[in-house]
């Protein structure tokens, strides 16, 4: 079985090579080999009756005993229709709120996402990933890639961006394929120019920043600049606590200052790194908008009550930040002129540069991912078999003990 998977992998790798030139014609990013379900379907099946499993689980929960992760994984593996997806969601929720919640297996999570995608329950998958606290769904990198790709395929960039936000909250931007996919999703979403609330801007900025930190090229640095600028805007409007609460971000003040540091780093760097023009324009507009709102706040005639409330909620450090805004504006003007003079401004848009990066690097990034995934599937299968063997042993032992007890009771009754 391993040999057949390897053969399929080799043919898939060949397929990847001949598909990459036509990447611009297609709307999706990952190659067909990556999103192929054949390797996953080729695992050994463990057919179980879902109703039986469900009743067992209900009885175990009623008796306040812990349910094993093997039962839950069997349930999720044997889903065969859309209604059963809903039932599985309920059981995942119950498992999360039981003493064994730590032991939810990786392959269960992976198979849950795969089943949701197969039976068209993508929103359900997104809902469980978003409420990961309640469902305990923490997908690994490969699974995240699959989910983002399925959304990009349909052009639903808003949901793709919410998945990227989840990846950011997990800080799971380790694989280059994940980074490229997320930057593509974020870039396409921004190109749509949506109206964003402050919290959405914060999420977008944080994802751009953390993803951009992993890449050291034009795309990465532009993403860092954009991310820092968006977070700086939220910091100016709402204060630093609104920025880092609930997100893996640094708690220090001065995000706009850090954005300008990125620009300075690019300006003084000796390599071929550039910043894309539309990000610089966007940061410029942002700074103008912020300074105009702060001017109107200070000079406008407001009612006394509103002013008092605003002063109470803003911290002293945040006020110090707001006072630095004109300095930031002037420094930005200097740095952007310096960048233009050094020719480090890339006229291609962020979206275009991300697409170019994807075309170059994605095929190379996918290969080690696929190999690692296949080896991981093998490891999961081995662990699954070990768990099944252990369960059988325990059942045999329990039977034996029960027999002994019955025999002892019968002997005691007779005597």
Partner 1 sequence: MVKKRRLRLIAEMARKIRAYRELKSRPRESQKYALDYESMKRPLTGKMLPVLAWQDVRRESRLFSLLAGMRLFGVGRMFTRKSWLEDHTEPSYWEVTKVKVDYTSENMDHGRAWGILTLKGKQEKDVKEMDKVMYHDWRVVPKHMEEQLKDFEPLPEPPVRYVPYPPLVRAMMLAEHKKRTGSVLAEEPVLPLKRDVLLNKDYFRKQEQETQRTEGTPV
Task: Please report whether residue 251 would count as binding partner 1 according to CB under 8 A.
Answer: yes
Residues 138-177: x where in contact with partner 1 by CB under 8 A, - otherwise, as a string? x------------------------------xxxx-----
Q: Does 301 bind partner 1 (CB under 8 A)?
A: no
What would the 3-class secondary structure string for the chain be?
CHHHHHHHHHHHHHHHHHHHHHHHCCCCCCCCCCCCCHHHHCCCCCCCCHHHHHHHHHHHHHCCCCCCHHHHHHHHHCCCCHHHHHHHHHHHHHHHCCCCHHHCCHHHHHHHHHHHHHCCCHHHHHHHHHCHHHHCCCCCHHHHHHHHHHHHHCCCHHHHHHHHHHHHHHCCCCCHHHHHHHHHHHHHHHHCCCCCCHHHHHHHHHHHHHHHCCCCCHHHHHHHHHHHHHHHHHHHHHCHHHHHCCCCCCCCCCHHHHHHHHHHHHHHCCCCCCEEHHHHHHHHHHHHHHHHHHHHHHHCCCCHHHHHHHHHHCCHHHHHHHHCHHHHHHHHHHHHHHHHHCCCEECCCHHHHHHHHHHHHHHHHHHHHHHHHHHHHHHHHHHHHHHHHHHHHHHHHHHHHHHHHHHHHHHHHHC
CB of 165 to partner 1, least distance (A): 12
By the rule CB under 8 A, 237 interacts with partner 1: no
Out of 3, 133, 304, 412, name the contact with partner 1 by CB under 8 A.
Answer: 133
Least distance between partner 1 and beta carbon 176 (Å) = 16
Q: With CB under 8 A as the contact rule, which of the stretches 9-17, 230-238, 240-248, 366-374 interacts with partner 1?
A: 240-248
Q: Which stretch binds partner 1 (CB under 8 A): 40-48, 90-98, 228-236, 333-341?
A: 90-98
Q: Is 26 among the residues that bind partner 1 (CB under 8 A)? A: no
Residue 96 Cβ vs partner 1, minimum distance, rounded to whole Å: 7
The contact mask relative to partner 1 for 183-212 (x = CB under 8 A, - = no) is ---------------------------x--
42 contacts partner 1 (rule: CB under 8 A): no
Looking at 101, 382, 389, 410, which residue binds partner 1 (CB under 8 A)? 101
Site for partner 1 (CB under 8 A): which residue of 213, 314, 348, 387? 213
Residue 248 touching partner 1 (CB under 8 A): yes
Among 2, 99, 385, 398, binds partner 1 (CB under 8 A): 99
Q: Does 244 bind partner 1 (CB under 8 A)?
A: yes
The correct pick among 3, 21, 62, 102 for binding partner 1 (CB under 8 A) is: 102
Chain residues in the site for partner 1 (CB under 8 A) = 96-99, 101-102, 132-134, 138, 169-172, 210, 213, 241, 244-246, 248-251
């Amino acid at each position: 079985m391993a040999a057949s998977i390897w053969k399929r992998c080799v043919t898939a790798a060949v397929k990847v090579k001949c598909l990459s030139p036509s990447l611009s014609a297609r709307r999706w990013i990952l190659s067909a080999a990556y999103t192929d379900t054949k390797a996953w379907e080729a695992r050994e099946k463990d057919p179980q009756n879902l109703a039986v499993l469900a009743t067992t689980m209900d009885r175990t929960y009623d008796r306040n005993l812990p349910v094993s992760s093997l039962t839950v994984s069997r349930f999720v593996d044997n889903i065969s229709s859309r209604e059963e997806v809903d039932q599985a969601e309920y059981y995942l929720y119950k498992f999360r709120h039981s003493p064994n919640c730590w032991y939810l297996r990786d392959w269960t999570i992976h198979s849950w996402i795969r089943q949701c995608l197969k039976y068209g329950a993508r929103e359900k998958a997104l809902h469980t990933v978003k409420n990961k606290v309640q469902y305990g769904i923490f997908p690994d990198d490969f699974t995240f890639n699959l989910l983002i790709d399925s959304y990009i395929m349909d052009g639903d960039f808003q949901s793709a961006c919410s998945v990227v936000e989840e990846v950011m909250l997990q800080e799971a931007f380790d694989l280059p394929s994940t980074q490229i996919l997320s930057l593509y999703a974020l870039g396409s979403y921004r190109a749509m120019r949506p109206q964003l609330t402050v919290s959405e801007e914060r999420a977008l900025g944080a994802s751009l920043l953390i993803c951009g930190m992993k890449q050291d090229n034009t795309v990465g640095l532009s993403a860092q600049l954009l991310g820092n600028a968006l977070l700086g805007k939220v910091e100016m409007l709402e204060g630093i606590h609104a920025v880092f609460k609930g997100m893996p971000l640094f708690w220090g003040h001065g995000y706009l200052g850090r954005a300008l540091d990125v620009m300075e780093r690019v300006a003084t760097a000796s390599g071929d790194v550039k910043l894309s023009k539309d990000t610089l324009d966007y940061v410029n507009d942002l700074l103008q908008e912020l300074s105009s709102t702060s001017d109107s706040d200070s000079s406008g005639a407001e009612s006394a009550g509103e002013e008092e409330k605003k002063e109470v909620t803003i911290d002293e450090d945040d006020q110090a930040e707001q006072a630095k805004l004109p300095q930031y504006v002037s420094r930005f003007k200097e740095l952007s002129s310096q960048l233009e003079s050094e020719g480090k401004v890339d006229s291609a848009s962020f979206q275009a540069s991300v697409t170019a990066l994807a075309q170059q690097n994605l095929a190379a990034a996918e290969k080690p991912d696929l190999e690692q995934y296949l080896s991981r599937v093998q490891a999961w299968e081995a662990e699954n078999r070990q768990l099944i063997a252990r369960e059988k042993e325990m059942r045999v032992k329990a039977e034996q003990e029960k027999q002994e007890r019955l025999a002892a009771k019968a002997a005691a009754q007779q005597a």
